[in-house]
Structure 1
Amino acid sequence: MNAEAPGVPTEAPTCYRHPGRETYVRCTRCDRYICPDCMRDAAVGHQCVECVREGHRDVRQPRTIFGGQVSATPVVTYTLIALNVLAYVAEVTSSRIVNEYAMLGVATDPFGIVHPGGVADGEWYRLITSAFLHSPPEASFGLAHIVFNMWALWAIGPQLEQVLGRWRFTSLYLLSALGGSVLLYLVDPAGAAVGASGAIFGLFGAFFVVAKRLRAPAGGIVFLLALNLVITFTVDGISWEGHVGGLIVGAALATGYAFLPPGRGDERRRTLLHAGATAGMLVLLAALVAIKTSQLAGITVI
């Protein structure tokens, strides 16, 4: 057994992160010496920065009923609004933006003759870029087009983003927009369209599904949806395909998010099921576009 020699001073302990600093305070979790710069207040005593960091990893992050992380700021909603506004400024500045990025299945002239261009000619990006463009000020709907869509996104987007979580909400929005473009491509490939309406109708459908899942009042969204459907089918110049396509995709995807798994499952299983539903919808829409493109491949192009 070792013993300290009488009269020899004992070396003072130092901080494990700062060896040159003397201290007599220990971390209550790992028992290592820590200096004032490394101390973090704990329920009892102090802990070192590493133990505090490790403790935070063990704390389970709060989740919504659909598996999304709880967030007070609707970052995705605000980002989407900003992107739509920036795209509108760009198209007002240059008329080429609409011509090059609007939804167009096949390009035709006034005589119905098909020309190179459109989704069928490999411009697949039009399926999604068109959802960030709107009618220019001189068009029939003018500013009302983007104003209504952005108002709707601002009104119901934050609520959906809060309950679904960011990645589910982003997927829902983009796939609803894609669904509207795909239905237009299937039904009227020569038709042209712009607008976030397909995505907005997808949010309408998702809001209804989420409300039913949470047993919350859904009368308001039903009235808003019915009113917009009446306008869709009675006002000339509106692409009903874009609206209906977005509505179908949004409602279907939200059903997957809201009811999968059917019972209380672990977080990993739920995330995998929701990711699978998202990927499945994307694959389905891509397959429909590929099939339609193959059907249009026989059209003579001059």
Structure 2
Amino acid sequence: MICKDRVVVVTGAGRGLGRAHALEFARQGALVVVNDLGVSASGEGASGGPAQRVAEEIRALGGRAVADCSDVASDDGARRLVATALEAFGRLDVLVNNAGFLRDRMLVNMSEQEWDAVMRVHLKGHFLPLKHAGLHWRAEAKAGRAVDARVVNTSSGAGLLGSFGQGNYAAAKAGIVGLTLVAAAELGRYGVTVNAIAPAARTRMTEQVFASTMAPPAGGAFDAMAPENVSPLVVWLGSAGSRDVTGRVFEVEGGRICVMEGFRHGPAADNGARWDPAELGPVVTGLLAGAAEPEPVYGT
């Protein structure tokens, strides 16, 4: 019960990872706002059914939950989402940004609409709930009320290393890492930590791409691709015990948790003046010789 009585919002919680997070938060004593617009895996249509079903699952377990079908990638929807938590439970302690869908395409075949749709749901759909939750927590801190809040964003290995055929998704997920770092720096003064995860699990977004390697194992063996494997870290990051952890990105798959180390200053050369282009061949070659090799892009 490490999140007992903490009020948690999980976006995209109607299925897959979001559903697993919402259920585990409830098992750990949290009061949960289950947000889901109910769209298809490609972002089409809308239905209140998925959010309602997960909220009902939580209540059947003896927990407390409300469903919310706001569009978190719209300013009004994100504002309503935060208001739902405050109206239902009187406070907000944790925001888990998880909503998303795919429009995979090779770069030269990708339409502007496919780019914009993925950027909107993933990147804008992280920014706006974070903005409105941050406004609430800032107001609480300025009013002299103690804030011990958490944000857990959802990036991806695609955003950290790239992913063949997913230029829009990889760019959005990389943007989420940058947003996480900035939010951690800006909101820390108000008692808010902000971290991100890069999960690998069997969901609607991955089951077709990785069908041959993500099938559930037979005979009751450990299912390394079950979305429930990711949720324990998300719940811990949402707990009071994680207050000293912020601005970090964790890769999570099966029973493995890895702290990711992003861009860091590597080998450098300083000429003390402007370089001549003709000089730079051996300089760059020398720098690269002393630098770590980049990890390969997924799918290559």
Task: Provide the TM-score with structure 2 as the length reference.
Answer: 0.29
Give the number of the structure whose residues are more often strand, by fraction: 2
Q: Larger C-alpha radius of gyration, 1 or 2? A: 1
Give the number of the structure whose residues are more often helix, by fraction: 1
